[in-house]
Amino acid sequence: MRRSVPTLLMSLALVAGCTGASDPDPGSSNDAAASSDIVQPVGGDLRIGEPWYLVGGMLESAPTTDVMLTFDEDTVGGQGPVNSYTADYTAATDGALDLGRFVTSLEAGPDELERAETDLLFLLNAVDGYATVAAGELYLFEGDQNVLVYATSPPSYEPTISDETQAMALEILGMSEADARAIVEDAGTIFRVVSRDGEDLVVTEDYSVIRINATVVDDEVTRTTIG
């Protein structure tokens, strides 16, 4: 099931001098972790009930939101770039890890995030080994290849607005709401009306670099922002 995926999502610095590897019991908080300068599928503490955050891996499309993985006693699940997902799993003290076929919710999202999720699930379905290190990292393997890296804390994102999104926000000024929405959504970007005919609409306060907010007056887009 292995494929070539050349793009590394993020690099994760390894901390030398951690505890040497032992033969741990998955899920026990007292497990010794593998040495972080010898990253092999040797098992470790899966932090039962506590989330791991994706920080690196062989992903062709990088998600821009927190992607989590949590191991419970018999199931593993979490939140992907778009959907939540869950599967059964078994973990052995020697580092072997068998993740069942993941079942996901069926929400739709922007093309970029859906591609990232497809890449992620492909890699998760290929995983057959794991190791944790004392610095708070989880390495998932396919054979001897490290394919995904998780950490106990979420990564720091520095959201950037693409030139294409900025140009699109200017392009739709003066268009009808329907035409503007079609252009934005066809590009895999989110279109949201925040004010219509002088009335501010109720919207969430979260920030997204792939969302264009529009002010509409008499069915014409008169102002746009991104976020």
* pTM for the full predicted model: 0.56
Is 163-226 assigned to CATH 3.30.1300.10?
A: no
Residue 15 pLDDT level (bands cut at 50, 70, 90): very low
What's residue 212's pLDDT?
Answer: 94
Give per-residue pLDDT as tens, 89-113.
Answer: 999 999 999 999 899 998 888 888 8
Give per-residue pLDDT as tens, 120-156.
Answer: 999 999 999 999 887 788 999 999 888 998 999 887 6
Instruction: Report the distance separating Cα 82 and Cα 157, nearest Å.
Output: 17
Q: Which of 84, 223, 117, 149 is nearest to 141 (CA)?
A: 149
Letter string b/e over residues 50-83, b meaning 16 or more CB atoms within 10 A of that residue's CB? ebbbbbbbbbebbbbbebbbbbeeeebbbbbbbb
Domain boundaries, the chain: 1-158, 163-226
CATH of region 1-158: 2.40.128.270
Give phi and psi for 175, each to the nearest 5.
-80, 165
